[in-house]
Structure 1
Amino acid sequence: MLIRKLFKFENAHIVRGCSTRRCSHSIHGHSYKVELLLEAHAFDNGQMIYDFGLLKGAVRELIDAFDHAVTLWSGDNLDYLAAMCRHSERWVLIPVSPSAEQFSRLFFCLVDAVLALSDMANGEADVQLHSVIVHETDTGYAQCFREDALNPRMGLIDLHAIEFAPAITAPWRDPELFERIKHGQQIPACLEELA
């Protein structure tokens, strides 16, 4: 069985090397929608695949980190990167170009890591991330499956190569959340669900 949870955020980027000049040479933004599809073949104690409320903690904070931020590719021009970090309080540096396709892979890796490190304390069984869909526009989206997220031909998504601006992580309930995830530390149940 599959369940779906939708998240939304506003973000700016440049997608270097793409065919459309206005996308590859000008900072522009999108109203993104991110759909997480979780899969399991048994129910928890509440007869659910996974309580939607549990996605309001670490998962929501990581996706919300991209809201009203500029996403930067670490392989871009160094002067551009420095200027963007200097002039924007909210930025995220990622190891791949911020296309819809790479965003879907990136979110797959982030959410998959959170699920792997979360305490399954309510009888959840074999819950896993099935896929991630990132809508860049109302008419275009990219969908990532596990084999895509781990495909080296599409670029390595190394969590250690992702950097969130201090203005993003400082207000988090646990400002060390992403450090915990990168180092494979269990996410305490109190951090999984936010009020």
Structure 2
Amino acid sequence: MLIRKLFKFEGAHIVRNCSSHRCRENIHGHSYIVEVFITSDKLDRGYMVMDFVLLDKVKELVDSFDHTYSLWREESEELKSFVYKYNRRVAEIPVSPSAEGYALLLFYLIDKILQNTAHENGEGNVQLSSVRVHETATGYAEAFREDMKLVDFDIHDIRFSEAIREEWKNDAWWKQLVK
């Protein structure tokens, strides 16, 4: 069975090396919608794939990008200095912040979160099926498990600014992922 949970965030970025001058040469933002699709071969005692309350860490992760500048680690040191000087909420990420980049990054991280989530209500084999990131009302990118072969980074390449980490209710979930 398949379930879907929707999350939202407002974010800004520059998408270098793309075809559009507007996107590759200008800071701009989007209202993102993130859809997380989860499967299981069994329903829990409440007849659910899993209780959505168990996705609290996923919500905290997605909220980390809200009103945040997503800074591609390949940017120039000059731009990095500028961004950190004038923004408190910065997510420095190892992928270009395109919808495709976000989909891969979020699949990678959400999969780790789910693997570290205790299932104690008779859940079956709970698996992340895909992550869909809508960048606009008319376009999205979706990452599946087989797309993880495109990932050439690890969790240590992802950095959230202090202002983001300070807003986390508890950073134990992140510390568990990076150990």
Q: TM-score range by the shorter chain?
A: over 0.9
Counterpart residue number, 2:98:
99
Deviation at 1:175, TM superposition (A): 2.8
Aligned residues of 1:45 and 1:124 also touching (Cα < 8 A): yes
Aligned residues of 2:5 and 2:37 also touching (Cα < 8 A): yes
Structure 1, gaps ≥5 residues long: 184-195
Aligned residues of 1:72 and 1:94 also touching (Cα < 8 A): yes
Counterpart residue number, 1:169:
165
After superposition, the Cα gap between the structure-2 partners of 1:166 and 1:120, relative to the gap in structure 1 and judged at 3 Å, is same
Counterpart residue number, 2:37:
37
Deviation at 1:176, TM superposition (A): 4.0
After superposition, the Cα gap between the structure-2 partners of 1:31 and 1:180, relative to the gap in structure 1 and judged at 3 Å, is same
Counterpart residue number, 1:13:
13
Structure 2, gaps ≥5 residues long: none
Q: Deviations over 1:44-69 (max 9, x none)?
A: 111100111211x2110001000000
CA distance in 2, matches of 1:172, 1:33: 20
1:93-172 paired onto structure 2 within 5 Å: 93-148=92-147, 150-151=148-149, 154-172=150-168
Deviation at 1:179, TM superposition (A): 2.1
Aligned-CA RMSD value: 0.9
Q: Deviations over 1:105-138 (max 9, x none)?
A: 1000111000001111111110000000000000
Deviation at 1:159, TM superposition (A): 0.8
Provide the identity percentage: 47
TM-score normalised by structure 1 residue count = 0.89
Aligned residues of 2:54 and 2:117 also touching (Cα < 8 A): no
Counterpart residue number, 2:23:
23
CA distance in 1, matches of 2:168, 2:144: 28
